A and B are shown apart, each in its own frame.
Chain A
Amino acid sequence: MKVVLEHLTKIFPSRNKKEKNAEVVAVNDFNLEIPDGKLIGLLGPSGCGKSTTLYMISGLQPPTSGKIYFGEDDVTELAAENRGIGLVFQNYALYPHMTVQQNILFPLQNLKGENRLSKEEMLARANEAAKLVQIDEYMNRKPSELSGGQQQRVAIARALVKMPRVLLLDEPLSNLDARLRLQTREEIRRIQRDTGITTIFVTHDQEEAMSISDYIVVMKLGVIMQTGKPQWVYDDPANLFVAKFLGTPPINVFRGRIEGEKLYIGEEAVFETKGAEDQEVYVGIRPEGFVLDERGGLTCSVSGIDVMGRDVSVVSTNENSLNPVIRSIVSADEAGKVSAVGDVKFRLKENKVFIFNKETEARVYFGAQVAAHEAMLSAMKAEGEFYAFHEGPLPREADDASKQTQPEEKKGFTVSVKNFFGKIGAAFRKQPETPAENATAEDTPAESAENAAESADDATQTESEDKE
Chain B
Amino acid sequence: MKEQEKDFVEETPAAVEGTPLTEAEQAEQDLREKRRKRNAIKARLRNLKGWVYLLPALVLLAAFTLWPIINTLRIAFLNGYNGLAEVGGATFAFGFQNFVNVVNFPDFLVCLRNTLLLTVITVPISTMLALLIAVALNSIKWLKKVYQTIFFLPYVTNAIAIGMVFNAMFGEVLINGTPLSIGIINSILGVFGIEPINWINVGSSTFNNMVVLIIYIVWNALPFKILVLLGGLQNVDKQYYDAAKVDGASRWRVFWRVTVPLLSPMITYVVITGFIGGFKEYTSVVGIFGDSMGAPAAPGSMNTMVGLIYDCIAKNNGGLAAAAALILFLIILVATIINLYVSKKKTHY
Interface, chain A (partner B; CB < 8 A): 58-60, 79-82, 85-87, 89, 91, 93, 95-98, 106-107, 109-111, 158, 162, 468
Most buried by B among A58, A60, A82, A158: A60
Which B residues fall within an 8 A CB radius of A? 237-240, 242-250, 253, 257-258, 261-262, 264, 348
The 11 listed contacts between A and B (C-beta, < 8 Å) are A81-B245, A82-B248, A87-B246, A89-B239, A89-B242, A91-B239, A93-B239, A93-B242, A95-B261, A96-B262, A97-B348
A-B residue pairs, 6 tightest by C-beta: A81-B248, A97-B348, A107-B247, A93-B239, A97-B261, A93-B243
From DSSP, what is the main secondary structure of chain A's interface residues?
loop
**B245, closest chain A residue (CB):** A80
Q: How far is the CA of A85 from the CA of B246 in the complex (A)?
A: 7
Given the known inter-chain contacts A93-B242, A96-B262, A97-B264, please indicate yes or no for A111 contacting B348, CB distance below 8 A. Answer: no
**Interchain nearest-CB distance for B107 vs A (Å):** 45
Which B residues are CB-close (under 8 A) to A106? Answer: 244, 247, 249, 257
Cβ B247 vs Cβ A81 within 8 A: yes
Complex interface: chain A residues within 8 A of B244 (CB): 106
Are the CB atoms of A81 and B246 closer together than 8 Å? yes
Residue of A nearest to B264 (CB): A97
* Nearest residue, chain A, Cβ from B242: A60
In the assembled complex, the CB of A81 is this many whole angstroms from the nearest CB of chain B, namely: 4
List 14 additional contacts besides A97-B261, A106-B249, A111-B248; criterion CB under 8 Å.
A80-B245, A81-B248, A82-B248, A93-B239, A95-B257, A95-B261, A95-B262, A96-B262, A97-B348, A106-B244, A106-B257, A107-B247, A162-B247, A162-B248
Inter-chain contact count A-B, CB under 8 Å?
A: 61
Specify which of B238, B248, B258 is in contact with A95 (CB 8 Å cutoff).
B258
List residues of chain A with CB within 8 A of the CB of B258. Answer: 95
From the candidates B247, B250, B262, name the one contacting A97 in the complex (CB within 8 A): B262
Nearest Cβ distance between residue A118 and chain B, in whole angstroms?
Answer: 18
Q: Which residues of B contact A98 (CB under 8 A)?
A: 257, 261
The distance from the CB of A15 to the nearest CB of chain B, in whole angstroms, is 13
CB of B343 to closest CB in A, whole Å: 13
Chain A's nearest CB lies how many Å from the CB of B344? 14
Counting chain A CB atoms within 10 Å of each CB, the highest count among B238, B246, B249, B258 belongs to B246
Q: Which residues of A contact B239 (CB under 8 A)?
A: 89, 91, 93
B241: nearest residue on chain A (CB-CB)?
A93
Q: Is the CB of B240 within 8 A of A93?
A: yes
Min distance, Cβ B251 to any Cβ of chain A, angstroms: 11
> Which A residues lie within 8 Å of B237 (CB)?
91, 93
Which residues of chain A have C-beta atoms less than 8 A from B253's C-beta? 109-110
**Shortest distance between the CB of B266 and any CB in chain A (Å):** 13
- Please measure, in the bound complex, the distance between the C-alpha atom of A80 and the C-alpha atom of B244, giving whole angstroms: 10
B285, chain A: closest CB distance, angstroms: 39
Interface centre among B238, B245, B248 (most CB of A within 10 A): B248
Point out the residues of chain A lying under 8 angstroms from B348, CB to CB.
Answer: 96-97
Task: Give bound CA distance, A468 to B262, whole Å.
Answer: 18
CB < 8 Å: which of A79, A96, A110 contacts B247? Answer: A110
Least CB distance, B86 to chain A, in whole angstroms: 55
Distance, CA A47 to CA B171, complexed state (A): 64
**Across the interface, do B248 and A107 meet the contact criterion of CB distance under 8 Å?**
yes
Say whether B245 contacts A60, CB under 8 Å: yes
In the complex, the answer to whether A80 meets B246 with C-beta atoms within 8 Å is yes
Q: In the bound complex, what is the Cα–Cα distance between A107 and B250 (angstroms)?
A: 11
A158–B253 alpha-carbon span in the complex (Å):
17
Known: A95-B258, A96-B262. A110 touches B250 (CB 8 A): yes
Q: Residue of A at shortest CB range from B248?
A: A81
Q: Hey, which chain B residues are within 8 Å of A110, CB to CB?
A: 247-250, 253
Q: Please, how many angstroms separate the alpha-carbon atoms of A58 and B246 in the complex?
A: 8
Q: Measured between alpha carbons, how far is A110 from B254 in the docked complex, in Å?
A: 10
What's the minimum C-beta distance from B324 to chain A, rounded to whole angstroms?
41
* Residues of the B chain whose Cβ atoms lie less than 8 Å from the Cβ of A158: 247
Least CB separation from A108: chain B residue: B247
Closest to B237 in A: A93
User: In whole angstroms, what is the CA distance A106 to B249 when docked?
Assistant: 8
* A97–B264 alpha-carbon span in the complex (Å): 10
A326 to chain B, nearest CB (A): 43
C-alpha gap A86/B243 in the complex (Å):
9
Of all chain B residues, the one with the shortest Cβ separation from A159 is B246
Q: What residues of B have a CB within 8 angstroms of the CB of A111 in the complex?
A: 248
